[in-house]
């Protein structure tokens, strides 16, 4: 009987060791994985002032330069990959990208599947309408019964669905603005950071922010795979970039000084 018990204990110990080794192989250091390949692939969508193409077609923007500054400190290269926002977590877990770095809103629900860096910018959702219709939007109740548009899988989509039951989900925040321009919807819900940069200018000159429709505030952070040790590494660099004034300079360059979290 003692031999049988001993054998059972040994089998249990070996099984535990195997499980532990398997787990380590599956969930090893994300930092070492990224450091070894030498690149940090950042999942993005294109919009000002976070990540967009300049007149020469080169990637620029606050998050673009921010990522490049962080990666320079870590001795790796930042690369940017446009993704479908509604598939961002799938892309991250499949290792098609290494992080989500694109004005990514922190929520408790997202924390269940993602490890976030420290927050670095404040943001809020806002309602954008045609300037000619601005007087109609005196508060949230004015949106009820109207048609809205928002980026699929975004904080804006969640906010839009709280305003009206008729919401069109689109591939990008800029697409939501295009829907308003085309008259297919009455309003769009987008990041205030984007709206402040784009609405009322260029292609969106005929649009305006409905400031009377106040929506909740939020914060941006970088999203990594759940349990990733990259967040800790990046947080240390963020602190250094705040200390030496790099982030303050970038925020001023892109009109985000008041949103920067110091």
Report pLDDT for 1. 47
Instruction: Give the chain's domains with CATH numbers.
Output: 30-122+219-259 (3.40.190.10), 123-217 (3.40.190.10)
DSSP 3-state helix, strand, coil percentages of the chain (rounded to 5)? 45, 25, 30
Whole-model pTM?
0.82
* Mean pLDDT confidence for 202-217: 95
Name the residue with tokens 């077609």: 57
Cα dihedral 101, 103, 106, 111 sign: negative
Cα dihedral 129, 260, 44, 113 sign: negative
For 151-192, how does the pLDDT look when each residue is reduced to its tens digit (9 = 90+)? 999 999 999 999 999 999 999 999 999 999 999 999 999 999
Report pLDDT for 28. 84
Q: What is the mean pLDDT of the chain?
A: 91
Q: What whole-number distance in Å separates Cα of residue 186 and Cα of residue 237? A: 43
Report pLDDT for 27. 56
- The number of residues in the chain equals 262
* Mean pLDDT confidence for 248-253: 98
User: Is the predicted pLDDT of residue 237 greater than 60, yes or no?
Assistant: yes
- How many Å from the N-terminal Cα to the C-terminal Cα in the chain? 66
Least confident range of 10-24, 49-63, 131-145: 10-24
Least confident range of 24-33, 105-114, 210-219: 24-33
């Amino acid at each position: 009987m003692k031999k049988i018990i001993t054998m059972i204990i040994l089998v249990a110990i070996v099984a535990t060791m195997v499980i532990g080794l398997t787990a380590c192989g599956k969930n090893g250091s994300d930092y070492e994985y990224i450091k070894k390949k030498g690149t940090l692939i950042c999942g993005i969508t294109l919009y000002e002032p976070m990540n967009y193409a300049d007149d020469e077609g080169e990637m620029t923007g606050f998050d673009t330069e921010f990522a490049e500054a962080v990666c320079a400190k870590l001795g790796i290269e930042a690369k940017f990959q446009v993704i479908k926002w509604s598939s961002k977590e799938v892309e991250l877990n499949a290792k098609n990208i290494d992080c989500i770095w694109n004005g990514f809103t922190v929520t408790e629900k997202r924390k269940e599947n993602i490890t976030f860096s420290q927050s670095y910018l404040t943001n809020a959702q806002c309602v954008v309408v045609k300037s000619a219709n601005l007087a109609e939007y005196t508060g949230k109740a004015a949106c009820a019964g109207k048609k809205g548009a928002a980026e699929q899988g975004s904080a804006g989509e969640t906010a839009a669905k709280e305003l009206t039951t008729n919401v069109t989900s689109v591939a990008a925040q800029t697409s939501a603005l295009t829907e308003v321009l085309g008259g297919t919807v009455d309003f769009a819900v987008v990041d205030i950071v984007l709206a402040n940069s784009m609405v009322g200018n260029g292609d969106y000159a005929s649009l305006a922010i409905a400031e009377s429709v106040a929506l909740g505030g939020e914060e941006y952070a970088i999203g990594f795979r759940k349990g990733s040790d990259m967040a800790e590494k990046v947080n240390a660099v963020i602190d250094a970039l705040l200390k030496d004034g790099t982030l303050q300079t970038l925020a001023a360059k892109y009109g985000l000084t008041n949103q920067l979290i110091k």
